[in-house]
Every structure is written in C-alpha cells, then in structure tokens.
Amino acid sequence: MNLALIKPPLFLICLGPLAYYAWGVQADALGANPIEAVTRGMGTWALNFLLITLAVTPLRKFSGWNWLIRLRRMLGLFVFFYAALHLGTYLWFDQFFDWAEIAKDILKRPFITVGMICVVLLVPLAATSNSIAIRKLGGRRWQGLHRSVYLIGLLAVLHYFWMVKADISKPLLYAVLLGALLGLRIWWRLQERNRQLAGAYSPKPLGRIISLAIKK
C-alpha cells in the first residue's frame, strides 16, 4: 500500500470539519448562535477523531490491513488539533481570556474540570508522537504513556454527559461507541490471558506495532 497516495488526501479530509465551520461562519449558515455552533463543533470533532483513532487497531486486526496503523499518528494528532481549537473557542468566545474567571470555572464546574484534564492529558501524547520520542522512550514506555488515551476517551464522554441539559441521547451514543472500542481491547486481553493460562505462552513481540509506525 502506497501511503504517500493516501496520506495527503486524508490530511485534507481531516481538515474538512474545520473548513465547514469556517465556511459556515463566513456564509452565516450556522444558525442564530454561530459561536456556540463552532465551539460545540470543535468539541464534537475532537471526540469523533478520538473514536476514529481508537478504531484503527480493531479495523487493522479484523481486516488484516496492517498499513492502517501508519495513519494512526495523523488521526491522533487531529484529536489534539480539534481539542486545542475547542479549548481555544472556550478561552476566547466564552471567557474572553478572563484568566481569573477561567480559573474559577475550572475549579467550580465539573464538566469544565474534566474537559480541561482531557486537553492537558493530550499534550504529552501529541508531544511524543514523533519517531524521536518513541526511540527515546522505548516502545514499552511509549505504549504505556499512550494508553492514557483510553482514560481521555472516558473523560471526554463524561465531559459531554455533564454538559447537556436533559437530552442525553448523543453523549449516550458516544459512550456506547467508546464502550465497544474499549470493550474489544478488554476482550482481547482476556483471550490473551486464557491462552497464556492454557500454556501457549510465547512472549509478545514487543514493539512490533511501533516498528511499523517508525518505518517510513
């Protein structure tokens, strides 16, 4: 699979949501409250990309398309990209950079607290997404660190739940999708354990996935 053919168009597609909202603001097509629409849109797309990123491994395992893993870094960085924009819209459009007010808000309102924790936890993942960081950390430690994305996913869905007023159908949908993606991983782990208990133990080839990611 020639990734050079897939990556540039995928990159552009990933910018699509941002382009849509930029167009919407320009064309006055986002309804009566465009600022809220942009703020929520950026949050929704951060969460969408998080689920897409978490879907890479299951998709790879089921399809056998191992090259999918080499798109994961870009998808993961788009989680951070949209989350940072989401944070930016909050800091600017909601709080107008009133730092005292922002500090109070983070401490006082659980859904803001949780959202902020998500962005903070995403920073080290974005920072260590390059090959140098992977080599420096070593595959096992790098993978351990990046497993925090599961926690981030849970917190992001919680952030959504606590934000809505009464209709929880959308956060519930995200919870179900995230549950399925995380559930798969638990299931794999249990299967692995059962295999080990049955005596078919062979050490997991450490860093196999990583080496694929580094290979250019």
User: Site residues (CB under 8 A) for other proteins?
Assistant: 27, 29, 31-33, 35-36, 93-94, 96, 101, 105, 108-111, 162-163, 165-167, 169
Residue with smaller CB distance to other proteins, 104 or 193: 104
Residue with smaller CB distance to other proteins, 33 or 130: 33
Residue 42 CB, shortest distance to other proteins, in Å, is 17
Nearest to 47 by CA among 135, 144, 158: 158
Residue 67 CB, shortest distance to other proteins, in Å, is 24
Residue with smaller CB distance to other proteins, 154 or 163: 163
Residue with smaller CB distance to other proteins, 24 or 179: 24
Q: How far is CA 48 from the centre of its chain?
A: 7
Residue with smaller CB distance to other proteins, 16 or 183: 16
Residue 157 CB, shortest distance to other proteins, in Å, is 16
Residue 180 CB, shortest distance to other proteins, in Å, is 23
DSSP annotation string for the chain: --HHHHHHHHHHHHHHHHHHHHHHHHTT-S-S-HHHHHHHHHHHHHHHHHHHHHHHHHHHHHH--GGGGGGHHHHHHHHHHHHHHHHHHIIIIITTT-HHHHHHHHHH-HHHHHHHHHHHHHHHHHHT-SHHHHHHH-HHHHHHHHTHHHHHHHHHHHHHHHH-SS--HHHHHHHHHHHHHHHHHHHHHHHHHHHHHTT------TTHHHHHHH--
Nearest to 123 by CA among 76, 53, 178: 76
Residue with smaller CB distance to other proteins, 110 or 144: 110
Residue 40 CB, shortest distance to other proteins, in Å, is 11
Residue 215 CB, shortest distance to other proteins, in Å, is 33
Spatial distance between the Cα atoms of 214 and 68, rounded to a whole number of angstroms: 13
